[in-house]
Structure 1
Amino acid sequence: MADKIKLLIAGLLVVAGIAGFYLLADSPTVVRVLAVLAGIGLALVVAWFTEAGRAFFGFSRESIDEARKVVWPTRKETLQMTGVVILFVVVMALFLWLVDGVLLWLVKLLMGRGN
């Protein structure tokens, strides 16, 4: 039950930060943005002390570790694949243009308007 109350408080802190953004309408934009960031930051601190919060932060850490293991393509591979995609798009556009033209001609022929 304590975790649910903490998560509720965290949610209310986020809402308070957003409300502060609108309540400080006459203040500089920096102050308004800081109000939102403060609400989110305080909510994260409160959420950290819940079981769900610790599980979420653990999952986030593991996700970052997995993203670091990804083997990213080299610049040459990226340019080659981009070229293949562009070529495929051009070929497919020409093919669809040709099919559209043939179908248009057939419809005109069937309707007796073909010249």
Structure 2
Amino acid sequence: MADKIKFVIALLLLVAGVAGFYLLGEYATIYRVLSVLAGVVACALVGWSTTPGRRFADFAREAVTETKKVVWPTKKETVQTTGAVFAFVVVMALFLFIVDKGLEWLFYGVILGWKS
């Protein structure tokens, strides 16, 4: 129940920040933007104090750890893979063009006799 109350408070803080943007219409834009940022930061702080918020923070930390374990391809490997994909796309486009024109000739030229 406490988590639900914290979520409601977090949403109210976010709404207050956005409302502050509109209520401070006659002030400088920096104050209006700071109002929204303050609402977002307050919302995040209250949200992270909940059980789902802590689980999300743990998940995000683990995701960053796993991302650091990834072996990223070198520039040469990236260029080679991109070239292979581009070549495949060109070959597939030619194949589909040939099949399309072949079926067009078969149906319109041979079967229906519309092309003379």
Q: TM-score range by the shorter chain?
A: 0.7 to 0.9
Residue 52 of structure 1 and its aligned partner are, at CA, apart by 1.7
1:6 maps to amino acid = K
Is 1:51 equivalent to 2:23 in the alignment? no
**How big is the alpha-carbon RMSD for the aligned residues of Structure 1 and Structure 2?**
1.7
Question: Residues 112, 64 of structure 1: CA spacing in aligned structure 2 closer, same or farther, 3 A cutoff?
Answer: same
Deviations 1:21-43 (A, max 9, x none): 34444554443333222111001
Moved more, 37-46 or 17-26: 17-26
Other-structure match for 1:85: 85
Unaligned runs of 5+ in 1: none
Question: Take 1:112 and 1:26, find their aligned partners in 2: how far apart are those partners?
Answer: 74
Question: What TM-score does the superposition give when structure 1 sets the normalisation length?
Answer: 0.87
Unaligned runs of 5+ in 2: none
Is 1:41 equivalent to 2:41 in the alignment? yes
Question: Take 1:28 and 1:104, find their aligned partners in 2: how far apart are those partners?
Answer: 65
Residue 59 of structure 1 and its aligned partner are, at CA, apart by 1.1
Is 1:113 equivalent to 2:114 in the alignment? yes
Other-structure match for 1:20: 20
